[in-house]
Chain A
Amino acid sequence: MATEILMPALSPTMEEGTLAKWLKKEGDAVKSGDIIAEIETDKATMEFEAVDEGILGKILIAEGTQGVAVNTPIAVMVEEGESADDIKAPAAKPAAAPAEAKAESPAASAVEEVRTPEPDRSPDWPEGTKMKTMTVREALREAMSEEMERDETVFLMGEEVGEYQGAYKISQGLLDKFGPRRVVDTPISEIGFAGIGTGAALAGLRPIVEFMTFNFAMQAIDHIINSAAKTLYMSGGQMGCPIVFRGPNGAAARVAAQHSQDYSAWYAQIPGLKVVIPYSAADAKGLLKQAIRDPNPVIFLENEILYGRSFEVPDMDDFTIPFGKARIARSGSDVTIVSFGIGMAHALEAADKLAQDGIEAEVIDLRTLRPLDYGTIIESVRKTNRCVTVEEGFPVASIGNHISAYIMENAFDHLDAPVINCTGKDVPMPYAANLEKHALITPAEVVEAVKKVTYR
């Protein structure tokens, strides 16, 4: 049976090319893999191999022809015994590839109707629950310990998590309690152990991968994003990756640019990741337990400066805090301050100062950046008509920028002033004490921003 040989697409973007040279002539026997022609594209000259065996019956496009569209018949192959004379003239029009034909199919509307969900204002734990005071460090340790007791597949790996008892003592005592099978000291190999952890999660374990700081996770970010976050989607839902990447994030003190960076906005951009950034010890515990139980990759951003701070934590056998539920840390009606992580310390201090001046700020702790509790933000802005965001990260493409855009799109008519984003300065973190202080966000700057949006 005669078969047409079509002008091939030789690259992802090729639409037409030049038939530079025929390497076989009419009547030649051709076997699979033989190079039959040279085709020139905008990028290179490429060899075109035969797929099937047969005889080159007729050449339809002469060598040297330019602008031959992909899928145009260029020759006809015949089988032994068949005559090339039997070949009728090729169809004038090449068959369009279905991909092109379907390009017109209606795509999802670019402007989605976004309905901001009702916020969940239920208490995080039952009223009247007995509380105990503990540091963020102790809360994180308790969360890991409780989850490791609850689920045999949970294990901790990272640099100095075991015998050293944790570079920041988060994992202190866990090696003694759970042994080296479940508390795994790694060499200094971030991309290696992030990849091994991700592989173990694909196979069904629930790894907690500790980065000594998130600055070092940049060595491993390919596995966090390309391997952990995207695999479920790329596998059509087959390959879940239940893993927690955790460690201190943001500026510590006097460690300069390479060790002082807030990665919140980086990770919050990635579909497939969940991003958690607690401020209080209760949230650190409840959210870390939730993160370990979550069937998806979770980025859990801690803060070295907060590790030693004490908070009230519910004294319960088991409690978790759901993702996507912000906490109203302080109620107020004059302005909404939205923050997360260590930014909350600045926001709350500013709110205290503002109260002395008679301005009642509502302070929202987002707790998770992905999912983000848009409902709580919008509800508050509808009430206060003003908003200031507070974060330690860089100003360009910050979380505050995203929130501002969301408010503009969804509560524009409720705004009495432009939203102001308080952020770290747009500079690498300096070492000198005075410069470092200047580079970071301060409560005074938050106060100033609030006064601006309240026209005081």
Chain B
Amino acid sequence: MARRPAGGTAAPSNTSKDELLKYYRDMLLIRRFEEKAGQLYGMGLIGGFCHLYIGQEAVVVGLEAAAKEGDKRITSYRDHGHMLACGMDPNGVMAELTGREGGYSKGKGGSMHMFSREKHFYGGHGIVAAQVPLGAGLAFADKYLGNDNVTFTYFGDGASNQGQVYETYNMAELWDLPVIFVIENNQYAMGTSMKRSTKSTTLFGRGEAFGIPGEQVDGMDVLAVKAAGEKAVAHCRAGKGPYILEVMTYRYRGHSMSDPAKYRTREEVQKMRDERDAIEHVRDLILQGKHASEDDLKAIDKEIKEIVNESAEFAKESPEPALDELWTDIYADDLPQGSAEEHA
């Protein structure tokens, strides 16, 4: 197939075979997982809102490559990719999508609300831009405690027009918080293209008003994302305060499952898929660099498919939460004394 006439960097000479194969595997896992989620949604096994990450895989995989143990991440409702990229169990994520006991939130959070203390993943937030000050708060805690962790705070081009983002920018820079604001600019806030919502030509540039440095990054190129991530992380860990990465990416699917797709052309989507696909890019690098054969990659594809199928099976078979779960996890430690709930 004659793909990728342009775009994407060549692999820097220091990019190892293992690294490339890891990116390929991690991005493919997200894509196949999301395709499966879409399928389960269509079958009525997943309900409510379901926002797929297909097309944007290089963003989280590239940035996770720049993170170390202890770093935190927080994002919006388009969160499945972030969870898989930071090593959360696909079974637990898929079972949360189907609202089952085996899900990360025991079925009480759903697609938009999942968390993992173990993997330092702080959600999964359903209110556009609410995760931005929360992410700065996570970074505030790390600075307060005097460690060198950083927080990756992901949000979209849509969230960038919420006021709380700028209150947060101001305080994050004022207090030198170790937070990387990652704007995943997929160019559409639901159905509103960036040029229909702002006259700003860049989003990272808005940080300048607060003294926050930043840059635009090719989000369809995992190596470029990783390199930018490393630069941002170094800035934060050095105690220089926040950094903004505006990662230019593209979502192939609708905003959520119920998207009429009338705000952009089919050709536009197809062109991105054909010419700029992040997984194809790494695949080409691997094959051109003779790091693996077509057959080796097929074996990986098969392995990923098995992981995803297993997660779907787990998500179907895991039981619905017990009715008692309705009344748990409302308060830590105990129910409020004397509350009606206590006696239910």
Contact = CB atoms under 8 A, between A and B. Distances in A.
Interface of A: 6, 8-12, 14, 32-33, 35, 41, 43-47, 49, 51, 70-71, 97-100, 102, 105-108, 112-117, 155, 181, 184, 186-187, 189, 191-205, 222-223, 226-227, 231-240, 242, 271-272, 274, 295-296, 322-325, 370-375
B331 A232 contact: yes
Interface stretch (B3-11, B223-231, B250-258, B289-297): B250-258
Contacts of A223: 130, 133-134
B330 A272 contact: yes
Contacts of A237: 106, 328-329, 332
B45 to A, nearest CB: 6
B332 A117 contact: no
B44 A97 contact: yes
Interchain residue pairs A-B with the least CB separation, the first 3: A199-B137, A195-B133, A192-B167
Contacts of A201: 137
Contact of B127 (A204, A222, A322, A324): A222
Given A232-B329, A235-B123, A115 B171 contact: no
Interface residues of B, number: 87
Given A51-B35, A235-B114, A272-B330, 14 more contacts: A9-B41, A9-B42, A9-B43, A11-B258, A102-B320, A192-B168, A193-B133, A202-B134, A205-B144, A234-B113, A234-B123, A235-B104, A236-B104, A373-B337
A446 to B, nearest CB: 25
A46 B336 contact: no
A375 B260 contact: no
Interface in B199-258: 252-254, 257-258
A113 B343 CA distance: 8
Interface in B118-144: 122-127, 130, 132-142, 144
Contact of B138 (A199, A226, A233): A199
A187 B133 CA distance: 14
A324 B136 contact: no
A194 B133 CA distance: 8
A200 B108 contact: no
Given A234-B109, A234-B113, A323 B337 contact: yes
A324 B335 CA distance: 11
B162 to A, nearest CB: 9
Contacts of B335: 371
A112 B344 contact: yes
Contact of A192 (B39, B164, B266): B164
Contact of A12 (B47, B104, B123, B326): B47
Contacts of B122: 199, 202-203, 239
A205 B266 CA distance: 48
B45 A371 contact: no
Contact of A195 (B54, B72, B136, B323): B136
A71 B39 CA distance: 11
A372 B335 CA distance: 12
Nearest to B327: A108
A234 B79 CA distance: 14
Contacts of B39: 51
B127 to A, nearest CB: 5
Nearest to B260: A44
B163 to A, nearest CB: 7
B49 A195 contact: no
B144 A6 contact: no
B130 A222 contact: yes
Nearest to B323: A108
A452 to B, nearest CB: 28
A187 B44 contact: no
- Most chain A Cβ neighbours within 10 Å, of B103, B273, B338: B338
B299 interface: no
B117 interface: yes
Contacts of A99: 44-45, 47, 99
A181 B130 contact: no
Contacts of A234: 105, 108-109, 113, 115, 123-124
Contacts of B332: 232, 237, 240, 242, 295-296
B117 A239 contact: yes
B171 A196 contact: yes
B333 interface: yes
B167 A191 contact: yes
B174 interface: yes
A191 B261 contact: no
A318 B344 CA distance: 34
Contacts of A235: 104-105, 109, 113-115, 123, 329
